[in-house]
A and B are shown apart, each in its own frame.
Chain A
Amino acid sequence: MKFSTALMLLTCLFFISSSLYSSYSYFATTAKVKENVLSASSWHTPEEAVEEVDEALEASAAALYQLTGQDLQTTFSKEDFEAAVAASGIKIESARVIEDPRIFGVNGEWAEAILELTVAGGTSQKFRVIFKKEGGLWRIFGTEEL
């Protein structure tokens, strides 16, 4: 086949293809759903709760009691709690976070962190502190000695 013939054939095919293509153009129309904005506010985080516990442990039993949850406060009154801490004779020198808090539970209503408490004399002990979210605030649900 001559080059010129081939070129003509290709040109014809191009126009046939174009006409076929244009015959398959259909209607379409678009519309938008705009301004769906989801904004996060400020909230009490488990990290903040751990910091608060950290400070309260070194401060006073009364301060720590303020950070406990409803279940614990139902079981112990503030006075009983303070008395129990005083009776133990333990004076916490320092507290540090060993494991950052981790949120868990189906609806993320639980969190846990591991703290290491050092008492007078230099003895240290690790505790798992369980937090429960109550009214948007993380409160101490209980502790477990590790």
Chain B
Amino acid sequence: MDKKLILGFVGLVVVGSAVVAGTRAYFSQQGEVKSNTFSTGTLALKLNEAEEATAVWNIAAGGPGDQVSGTVNIRNDGSIKADHIEITASNTVTEAASGPGTVSTTPLDTVLEMTTLTYDGVSVLGQVLDANGNGIKDLDDLEAVTLDNLALTDTGKDHPLAMTVRFNPTLTVGEHQGDSAATTLTVTLNQVAEQ
């Protein structure tokens, strides 16, 4: 085979290869998918439209039989739905500094009787047991339980928790004069039923 023929063959092979390669070139276009942000939703618990509520149930100078009613509106202002709330209570009893209230007797929170306790208009007083066995359901009993599985499945809607508390007329005695009980309720909003 002479040189021209060899070159011609090589040239043919090159062109042929290019044709073959060309037949395997597909259309493609590159682009970028930018800013893929994975944000979590939020649960945002609001109590009376605020981050926390204060002084919903207050009596400054009470006596046997005196009572007070109060309501705290509980709402999920978050972006995802929750399942339920649970509520716990903590009491701090302060004895009187002077007068008959300095004489030791039953703690004041044991005579502060809850006569009504409703959530969304339905009584939940049944969840509170008479743990201290004094015949009434009082703030001391509330401290011993967790009010659980109170449904809160929507967002942006208030769910009222209402309570009436009174100084039990027969259990509140002279030795309670000047005593006080401060109660803090802790409300927890849970995302799923298992919590």
Q: How far is the CB of A39 from chain B (nearest CB, A)?
A: 4
- Which of these, A30, A38, A47, contacts B188 with CB under 8 Å? A30
Interface residues of B in 70-124 (CB under 8 A from A): 70, 72, 78, 80, 82, 96, 99-101, 108, 112
Q: Across the interface, which residues of B come within 8 angstroms of A129, CB to CB?
A: none
Contact present for A29 and B189 (CB under 8 Å): yes
Total chain B interface residues with beta-carbon distance under 8 A: 63
- Which of these, B43, B101, B176, contacts A28 with CB under 8 Å? B43
Total chain A interface residues with beta-carbon distance under 8 A: 29
Q: Across the interface, which residues of A come within 8 angstroms of B47, CB to CB?
A: 31-33
Q: Across the interface, which residues of B come within 8 angstroms of A45, CB to CB?
A: 100, 173-174, 177
In the complex, A109 Cα to B169 Cα: how many Å? 8
Q: How far is the CB of A133 from chain B (nearest CB, A)?
A: 8
In the complex, A27 Cα to B191 Cα: how many Å? 5
Q: Is A18 an interface residue (CB 8 A)?
A: no
Interface residues of A in 28-65 (CB under 8 A from B): 28-43, 45, 47-48
Interface centre among A31, A37, A136 (most CB of B within 10 A): A31
Q: Is A107 an interface residue (CB 8 A)?
A: yes
- Which of these, A33, A39, A41, A47, contacts B53 with CB under 8 Å? A33
Q: Which segment of B10-18, B31-39, B60-68 sits at the interface?
A: B60-68
Contact present for B52 and A38 (CB under 8 Å): no
Q: Is B162 an interface residue (CB 8 A)?
A: no
Q: Is B55 an interface residue (CB 8 A)?
A: yes
Contact present for B180 and A39 (CB under 8 Å): yes
- Which of these, A30, A34, A36, A40, contacts B167 with CB under 8 Å? A40
Q: Across the interface, which residues of A come within 8 angstroms of B191, CB to CB?
A: 26-28
Interface string of B152-175 (1 = CB under 8 A from A): 000000000000010111101110
Whether A32 touches B52, Cβ cut-off 8 Å, given contacts A27-B80, A38-B112, is: yes
Q: Across the interface, which residues of A come within 8 angstroms of B101, CB to CB?
A: 40
Q: List 30 A-B contacts (CB under 8 A).
A: A26-B194, A28-B188, A28-B191, A29-B78, A29-B189, A30-B188, A31-B45, A31-B51, A33-B72, A35-B58, A35-B182, A36-B182, A36-B183, A37-B55, A37-B183, A39-B60, A39-B178, A39-B179, A39-B181, A41-B63, A42-B99, A42-B100, A104-B170, A107-B65, A108-B64, A108-B65, A108-B169, A109-B65, A109-B169, A136-B63
Closest 6 CB pairs of A and B: A108-B169, A41-B61, A45-B174, A39-B180, A43-B63, A33-B185
